[in-house]
A and B are shown apart, each in its own frame.
Chain A
């Protein structure tokens, strides 16, 4: 039931209807073990797409292949219409990259680093504008070695969007940020999207994916196990509601796809129904079920003597 095809956004021209990212059967092995194992994915122009998945699911490897800094072992990949393995300078100029754990040049100030890296772009965003966009105005003259982890991540984001990219890759951009910084960062992403950029990000935070993304892809064991708008992820899993109440001092629980019927029966009784709740699975519940199912499937497949 997974649909990787997103409808073109209204107002886009024919040239832009080609997806920003398209991959089929992406394969990457490290030492014989497939870390990316037949990944299919499409990201439409102007879309904010979040890749969710546990550590080691292959998110970073996938992003690095798309950025053209890592080779793939198989599959077809097009990023802005170009195979990343052969993408040249003009292609790179259209991409923005925010990688994990980037410390940048430690002994220079925020402003100096942005001024330096501006030298690699044809039409960089002005340094002052970038500093304001990531909320580092008060730290503009501070050396990077004295910034907090979250502030360094914000600098990394500023470096990633410096060249006015059409497509921005963000690998766990908000790791280490405090809640205020995270919300500022979300505003930054919304601003990018409003300017027409496509954003592909990985994250561990489900609230972040729900907040920002048009669509979420869940990656586990190197495969895409589901892709949908955050509110519709794991549709089958979501249909089942849990009705809970207390009866004779014990908690009773019924899982059902038609909670109304269960409630009607319960409420038809003479007395009160203490502790009555109806819950639907949260995004987190859905995510955890999807990942657990993929892990079980892989274990079964590996144990299967073919």
Chain B
């Protein structure tokens, strides 16, 4: 006697609904950005501030192993760092939605269950594209020039792939901690994570085992690959990890995305436990 009177839609209709719902969910973020342009601006300008600080205040004392200008070395690293910062934005959004009962409201609405996270993905990727555009403009303004349009596009692809991985990490952490103070912990931990990579200095410039850790940092492959694509100096130390940077730049984000997407789905299902 169940569901005989109910018209549950077919797979095509369901996919269409899932897409529409995801767009509607993402639209809520866009409405929020319009209301709080200040917050969006701060998020986009923070990496610019870092770029200026490291390029002009610290950059003078920096030597890139194997030669090359430190500013050219730094810019791709900052692009990657901006993608890593995205984890905080995603996590904050997830934590706030859960705390304000919006996640529960979504779960009770006649919408595709996937739309909550799919909408989150759309909105955060859009905001990252915007942030990256601002940062590229700032980098051009300080005199950095990319190699060519084709390889630059490939670099943007790798950067957004990394952003997707950190998006899923953010969703998982947001569902895990459910507490705004947890976001602050992540905001702090991002720094040692970034410094223990080749974002600011070449891995080969670090002593012994720290160099190995930095080379295998999940973002290191992306940093080196983006440097190569943009024609920047890589400060390459010549280890296996740096020689296979492009492979790692694809593999790390894919693995992270798969793992954290699976963890997030499980976490999301546990909301109804």
Residues of A within 8 A of B (CB): 15, 67-71, 78, 81-83, 86, 88-93, 95, 97, 99-108, 112, 116-117, 119-122, 143, 159, 163
B32 partner residues in chain A, CB cutoff 8 A: 105, 107-108
Could you tell me the distance in whole angstroms from the C-beta of A170 to the nearest C-beta in chain B?
A: 12
B9 partner residues in chain A, CB cutoff 8 A: 89-90
A116 vs B35: C-alpha distance when bound (angstroms): 14
A67 partner residues in chain B, CB cutoff 8 A: 108
Whether the Cβ atoms of A99 and B100 lie closer than 8 Å is no
B105 partner residues in chain A, CB cutoff 8 A: 97, 99, 102, 104, 117, 159
Which chain A residue has the least Cβ–Cβ distance from B6?
A: A90
Whether the Cβ atoms of B108 and A97 lie closer than 8 Å is yes
A100 vs B104: C-alpha distance when bound (angstroms): 10
Whether the Cβ atoms of B110 and A101 lie closer than 8 Å is no
Whether the Cβ atoms of B35 and A108 lie closer than 8 Å is yes
Whether the Cβ atoms of A82 and B108 lie closer than 8 Å is no
Could you tell me the distance in whole angstroms from the C-beta of A120 to the nearest C-beta in chain B?
A: 5
22 sampled A-B residue pairs with Cβ under 8 A: A69-B107, A70-B273, A81-B5, A82-B2, A88-B3, A88-B6, A89-B8, A89-B9, A89-B110, A90-B8, A91-B6, A92-B110, A92-B111, A99-B101, A102-B100, A103-B100, A104-B101, A116-B24, A117-B105, A120-B111, A143-B35, A163-B109
Whether the Cβ atoms of B108 and A92 lie closer than 8 Å is yes
**B112, CB-defined interface residue at 8 Å:** yes
A60 vs B32: C-alpha distance when bound (angstroms): 30
Could you tell me the distance in whole angstroms from the C-beta of A278 to the nearest C-beta in chain B?
A: 48
Looking at chain B's contact residues, the main secondary structure is loop
A163 partner residues in chain B, CB cutoff 8 A: 109-110
A92 vs B108: C-alpha distance when bound (angstroms): 7
B5 partner residues in chain A, CB cutoff 8 A: 15, 81
Residues of B within 8 A of A (CB): 1-3, 5-9, 14, 17, 21, 24, 27-28, 31-32, 35-36, 99-102, 104-105, 107-112, 271-273
Cβ-neighbour of A116 out of B28, B99, B272 (below 8 A):
B28
A90 vs B6: C-alpha distance when bound (angstroms): 6
Could you tell me the distance in whole angstroms from the C-beta of A118 to the nearest C-beta in chain B?
A: 10
Which residue, B3, B24, B32, B36, has most C-beta atoms of chain A within 10 A?
Answer: B3
Which residue, B8, B99, B110, has most C-beta atoms of chain A within 10 A?
Answer: B110
Whether the Cβ atoms of B31 and A116 lie closer than 8 Å is yes
Which chain B residue has the least Cβ–Cβ distance from A112?
A: B31
A83 partner residues in chain B, CB cutoff 8 A: 2
B101 partner residues in chain A, CB cutoff 8 A: 99-104
Whether the Cβ atoms of B36 and A105 lie closer than 8 Å is no
B100 partner residues in chain A, CB cutoff 8 A: 102-106
Given A91-B6, A102-B100, A112-B31, answer yes or no on A121-B107 (Cβ-Cβ < 8 Å): no
Whether the Cβ atoms of B31 and A108 lie closer than 8 Å is yes
Could you tell me the distance in whole angstroms from the C-beta of A175 to the nearest C-beta in chain B?
A: 14
A15 partner residues in chain B, CB cutoff 8 A: 5
Looking at chain A's contact residues, the main secondary structure is loop
A81 vs B6: C-alpha distance when bound (angstroms): 10
A112 vs B17: C-alpha distance when bound (angstroms): 22
Could you tell me the distance in whole angstroms from the C-beta of A32 to the nearest C-beta in chain B?
A: 14
A120 partner residues in chain B, CB cutoff 8 A: 21, 24, 109-111
Whether the Cβ atoms of A88 and B21 lie closer than 8 Å is no
A131 vs B8: C-alpha distance when bound (angstroms): 31
A101 partner residues in chain B, CB cutoff 8 A: 101
Given A103-B101, A107-B36, answer yes or no on A89-B111 (Cβ-Cβ < 8 Å): yes
A109 vs B231: C-alpha distance when bound (angstroms): 48
Given A71-B273, A107-B36, answer yes or no on A88-B8 (Cβ-Cβ < 8 Å): yes
B102 partner residues in chain A, CB cutoff 8 A: 102-105
Could you tell me the distance in whole angstroms from the C-beta of B19 to the nearest C-beta in chain A?
A: 13
Which chain B residue has the least Cβ–Cβ distance from A89?
A: B110
A95 partner residues in chain B, CB cutoff 8 A: 108
Which chain A residue has the least Cβ–Cβ distance from B96?
A: A106
Cβ-neighbour of A90 out of B7, B31, B273 (below 8 A):
B7
B108 partner residues in chain A, CB cutoff 8 A: 67-69, 92, 95, 97, 99
A69 vs B31: C-alpha distance when bound (angstroms): 27
Whether the Cβ atoms of A92 and B109 lie closer than 8 Å is yes
A88 vs B13: C-alpha distance when bound (angstroms): 13
A97 vs B6: C-alpha distance when bound (angstroms): 20
A77 vs B8: C-alpha distance when bound (angstroms): 20
Known: A92-B108, A92-B111. 17 other contacts (CB 8 A): A68-B108, A69-B107, A70-B273, A78-B2, A82-B3, A83-B2, A88-B8, A90-B6, A90-B110, A91-B3, A97-B108, A102-B105, A104-B105, A116-B24, A116-B28, A116-B31, A120-B21
A120 vs B18: C-alpha distance when bound (angstroms): 11
Whether the Cβ atoms of B272 and A69 lie closer than 8 Å is yes
A102 partner residues in chain B, CB cutoff 8 A: 100-102, 104-105
Which chain B residue has the least Cβ–Cβ distance from A143?
A: B35
A222 vs B28: C-alpha distance when bound (angstroms): 38
Could you tell me the distance in whole angstroms from the C-beta of B101 to the nearest C-beta in chain A?
A: 4
Could you tell me the distance in whole angstroms from the C-beta of B175 to the nearest C-beta in chain A?
A: 15
